[in-house]
């Protein structure tokens, strides 16, 4: 398991921005499960190769409260598909696609959860990797902006192991599955979007690189006064 400088930067960026947990799936759960492996924001080169396209990793975590059985929530970040893997113990072997980025977290039976971690399952001879999903910088997800605001500037951050991000698509609207609002945005911000007091808005970012790889962020939200 190896980590590069930009991955550490991404981790620190997420922490410093204070992303609100109330928009995450485990919002009502207590964070008392500790993830161990695969490590957060890492390039995973371990595991057992089962084919040219897949490898098997043993996921591990700790839970001092013994809230099993557990569910591993594993999301393939290239297609946003989530699997749910059950385990009676604090580890489970899972077969993954190689050359793909994943996010994962674990929940227990009594309102318990871990943080969400992200890793890249490295594949052989890869010429390109997908960008990491964008994170919200401003407004921070779950924030409330002034009711006197008539426009908002959306700002985000995104990193790519190949450093070849070329553009972003912005989805924005008043529904939890927002519609496409801006395409092929070349900066990590979109200014002067009209908003109205008393409303909640949702947005997400699709990050695109030079060879056609894409990643989709979680859906962020903010309210106006």
CB 118 within 8 A of CB 197: no
Q: Quick one: the chain helix, strand, coil %, rounded to 5?
A: 5, 50, 45
pTM of this prediction?
Answer: 0.49
pLDDT of residue 110: 84
pLDDT of residue 4: 46
Mean pLDDT split into 10-residue runs, the chain, 225 residues: 44 39 47 94 86 91 94 94 96 94 94 94 67 95 94 95 93 97 97 96 96 92 95
pLDDT of residue 27: 40
> Is there a shared CATH topology between the 5-121 domain and the 135-224 domain?
yes
Please tell me the class of the 135-224 domain: mainly beta
Does domain 5-121 sit in CATH 2.60.40.10?
yes
Q: What angle do CA 97, 98, 101 make, to 5 degrees?
A: 80
What are the extents of the domains in the chain?
5-121, 135-224
Closest listed residue to residue 134, CA positions, set 63, 64, 203, 38 = 203
Tell me the C-alpha to C-alpha distance, in Å, between residue 220 and each of 88, 111, 123: 33, 23, 30
Q: Which tokens sit at 208?
A: 């695109």
């Amino acid at each position: 398991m190896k980590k590069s400088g930009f991955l550490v930067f991404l981790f620190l960026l997420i922490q410093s921005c204070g992303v609100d947990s109330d928009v995450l799936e485990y919002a009502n759960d207590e964070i008392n499960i500790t993830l161990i492996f695969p490590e957060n924001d890492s390039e995973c080169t371990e595991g057992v190769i089962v084919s040219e396209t897949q490898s098997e990793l043993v996921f591990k975590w700790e839970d001092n409260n013994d809230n099993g059985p557990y569910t591993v929530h594993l999301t393939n970040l290239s297609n946003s598909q989530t699997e749910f893997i059950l385990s009676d113990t604090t580890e489970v072997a899972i077969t993954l696609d190689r050359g793909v980025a994943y996010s994962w977290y674990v929940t227990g039976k009594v309102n318990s959860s871990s943080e969400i971690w992200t890793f890249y399952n490295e594949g052989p001879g890869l010429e390109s990797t997908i960008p990491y999903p964008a994170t919200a910088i401003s407004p921070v997800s779950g924030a409330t902006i002034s009711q006197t605001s008539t426009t908002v500037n959306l700002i985000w951050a995104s990193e790519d192991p190949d450093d070849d991000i070329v553009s972003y698509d912005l989805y924005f609207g008043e529904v939890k599955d927002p519609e496409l609002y801006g395409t092929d945005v070349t900066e990590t911000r979109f200014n002067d979007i009209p908003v109205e007091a008393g409303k909640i808005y949702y947005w997400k970012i699709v990050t695109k690189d030079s060879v056609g790889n894409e990643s989709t962020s979680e859906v962020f939200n903010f309210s106006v006064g």
